[in-house]
Amino acid sequence: MERRRRVRFAPSPTGPLHMGGVRTALYNYLYAKQAGGDFILRIEDTDSQRFVPGAEEYIIESLRWCGIFPDEGVDENGKVVEVASERHPHAPYRQSQRRGIYRKYAEELVEKGYAYYAFDSTESLAALRAEAEAQKKTFTYNWETRGTLCNSLTLPTDEVARRLAETRDWTIRFKIPENRTVAMDDLIRGHIEVNSNTLDDKVLWKRADELPTYHLANIVDDHLMEITEVIRGEEWLPSLPLHYLLYEAFGWQDSQPRFAHLSLLLKPDGKGKLSKRDGDRLGFPVFPLRWVNAEGEVSRGYREDGYYPEAFVNMLAFLGWNPGTEQEIFSLDELVKVFSLERVVKSGARFNPDKAKWFNQEYLRMRPTAQLVADFRASEGARIAAFSDDYVGRVLDLMRERVHFPTEFREATSFFFEAPASYDEAAVAKFWKDDIPALIPQVREFIAGLDPFDKEHIETVEALIRENGWPMGKVMNTLRLFLVGKSVGPGVADMMAILGKDEVLKRIDKGITTLQ
């Protein structure tokens, strides 16, 4: 019988969640939902040194903003579940609160001969590393060196027992088997083989803080939580042989999850992976939400920059994956239907801020007018309270083709809510000359006689201008200047129809008196 698909996103709360992390979470979520399975959130906070307050909340809020709600591990209030229940049978979902679980698994491995106690101090290992480095070599705790180091393989039994009982500065290390070919399969990369001699004896558990390292906690929890697929970043690929060996040592091969390693997100230009500095340098966010660190340093967020979560998710999904068709716009639900690990691209994906903007523009265009109005009212408040939904809706519909973000609406539409207080000097110099000052009053009278005052009738102004042989560009741009204050903006007839005859005449009259 096919097991129920269960995947997890297991971030470390060491800072704000990077957009690459969001993508990993998204792919996990899409995979789980498509299979009708579970998406679990687990917090991997086994490094007490690097814990950052607020990071956990940030991760969960980011996922919620994206529309990604874990089936397990997070409750309705967005809190990590600490007490087991029917829906959250594996609680707690925070590894620091599961610390009691791991020691016995590490010791089981020692008993079975797959691991050993290591008493080397941090300092002695650092010294060995420094020494090796001086000779342009790398010190590795492995099959070659463990026989010369301070551990339960080299020390007499009674000395091992004494140190175990009396000291705290020891760890349990995995004993990598010698000269074995570890054969692995990756859902994205295919078959991979590595010789075990290139691996090192990783620390599994630390007596000092009684906490496991990532490797042990990860394997034990994935096993306990019945995870069927591990979809994670490429930075874990070098650890995969160790993880295979760990499953083998525990005798869990039959229920071992399948693995899929995702390539990393690369910076838009130059070398290396996408970092916060690239965002600052090139002017785009690398985090889903705004984040202020302990030093008060601010990192911008996609949410605060005016991105729609749907656009952000859509854009992220396409960074290293494609449906194989030419459709590019997908809702989260549609992505669930078409996503497949087989179509995930193996190579690293360079992030393209222009394409991200394009996605947002597409969503801005598709957004229902009523929704656009509601969004705008929420951000503008009293400033536009006096205007009807119909009026605001017409304004926004006229402007939506001209902006990438809803945050641009305030400035782009300001003249619809307030008459211009001044006129762009360059535009005045360019248009308010020759016979224009003499013509405009005639145009004004024509406009005053228009009835009804709709776009169709307003467009007869063009016929008037043409019939009289007046300069179309200058007249129209002068009208625009009086309406907007600048010589850029939507079509004059469109703007007039929305502003209404009274307001249009008022602005033209004001323009004439101001410039005379």
Considering the complex, what minimum distance in angstroms separates the CB of residue 354 from RNA? 4
Task: Dig out the tokens for 251 from the structure.
Answer: 């005798």
Considering the complex, what minimum distance in angstroms separates the CB of residue 209 from RNA? 7
- Most distant CA pair in the chain, distance: 111
- Kindly state whether residue 135 participates in binding RNA, applying the rule CB under 7 A: no
CA-wise closest residue to 496 among 462, 443, 449, 459: 459
- Kindly state whether residue 426 participates in binding RNA, applying the rule CB under 7 A: no
Which of positions 443-462 make contact with RNA (CB under 7 A)? 462
Strands (E), 275-355: 291-292, 298-299, 349-350
Residue carrying the six token digits 């299979």: 35
* Residue whose CB is less far from RNA, 71 or 186: 186
Considering the complex, what minimum distance in angstroms separates the CB of residue 252 from RNA? 20
- Kindly state whether residue 358 participates in binding RNA, applying the rule CB under 7 A: yes
State the pairing for strand pair 229-233/38-41.
unpaired
Task: Dig out the tokens for 23 from the structure.
Answer: 């993508």
Question: Which residues on neighbouring strands pair with residue 186, listed in sequence order?
Answer: 190, 259
- Kindly state whether residue 25 participates in binding RNA, applying the rule CB under 7 A: no
Residue carrying the six token digits 């080397």: 120
Which of positions 144-173 make contact with RNA (CB under 7 A)? 169-171
In which element (H, E) is residue 212 found? strand 211-212
CA-wise closest residue to 67 among 273, 261, 313: 313
* Residue whose CB is less far from RNA, 334 or 462: 462
Selected catalytic residue, list 276, 430, 506, 510: 276
- Kindly state whether residue 245 participates in binding RNA, applying the rule CB under 7 A: no
Burial call 377-410: b when 16+ CB within 10 Å, e when fewer = eeebeeebeebeeebbbbbbebbbeebbebeebe
Site string for RNA, 273-292 (x = CB under 7 A): x-------------------
Stretch that binds RNA, among 57-65, 105-113, 237-245, 444-452 (CB under 7 A): 237-245
* Residue whose CB is less far from RNA, 256 or 477: 477
Residue carrying the six token digits 């499953």: 247
Considering the complex, what minimum distance in angstroms separates the CB of residue 76 from RNA? 26
Question: Which residues on neighbouring strands pair with residue 174, listed in sequence order?
Answer: 115
- Kindly state whether residue 345 participates in binding RNA, applying the rule CB under 7 A: yes
CA-wise closest residue to 31 among 276, 227, 246: 227
* Residue whose CB is less far from RNA, 100 or 381: 100
CA distance 490 to 400: 11
**What values do phi and psi take at 54, rounded to 5?**
90, -15
* Residue whose CB is less far from RNA, 340 or 514: 340
Site string for RNA, 187-206 (x = CB under 7 A): --xx-x-xx--x-x--x--x
- Kindly state whether residue 243 participates in binding RNA, applying the rule CB under 7 A: no
Query: Which of 488, 500, 509, 514 touches RNA by CB under 7 A?
Result: 488
**Total residues in contact with RNA, by rule CB under 7 A:** 86
Q: Is 276 one of the catalytic residues?
A: yes
* Residue whose CB is less far from RNA, 251 or 272: 272
Active-site residue set: 276
